Amino acid sequence: MTIEEECIEADAAMAEAYRRQCRDCLAAMRAACAGGWSQAAVLLAVQAVRTAANALLVTQTGRAATGHGADPVSLLYERLPHYRRDEHLSVGAEVLAYDEDLRYYGYEVREEEARALLDLAERFCNWATTR
């Protein structure tokens, strides 16, 4: 699948919707972690990073990653070369790496691992939603 097939045209309203979704996912992520639901917290962290990356992608390119399995962090790297050296892209990629592990391999996240991952997700999201 090409980059074009993984994206749709998007506007400022969609970017704001992605930012709202990101905020909601981060709040739910914190609540899940506080409640001892590490797996749910990490799934929410993955979704928060996806939506934050899409918010930035839309803001910078007018396109959003929507294809099945589309990785908006990779698309940021591909489409926005000036961010390639920014450490935040690797932080976002690290969080998204958990997606397949959780969905396909039944990976069980320990509480301390979840907390560290949530910190990474918040770091990436704060960066991506303020660009």
Q: What's the pLDDT at 6?
A: 72
d(CA 21, CA 29): 12
- Flag whether pLDDT at 1 surpasses 70: no
pLDDT tens digits along 5-62? 678 889 999 999 999 999 999 999 999 999 999 999 999 999 999 999 999 999 999 9
* This prediction's pTM: 0.92
Give the number of domains in the chain. 1
* Range(s) of the domain holding residue 121: 4-128
Q: What is the pLDDT of residues 96-112, one digit of tens each?
A: 999 988 888 889 999 99
| CATH number of the domain to which 9 belongs | 1.20.120.330
8 A C-beta contact, residue 33 and residue 113: no
In sequence order, the 6+-apart residues with CB closer than 8 A to the CB of 80 are 57, 60, 61
- Cα–Cα distances in angstroms (integers) from residue 53 to residues 26, 69, 94, 116, in the given order: 14, 14, 13, 19
Q: Which are the contacts of 24, defined by CB distance < 8 A and separation ≥ 6?
A: none
Residue 24 is predicted with a pLDDT of 98
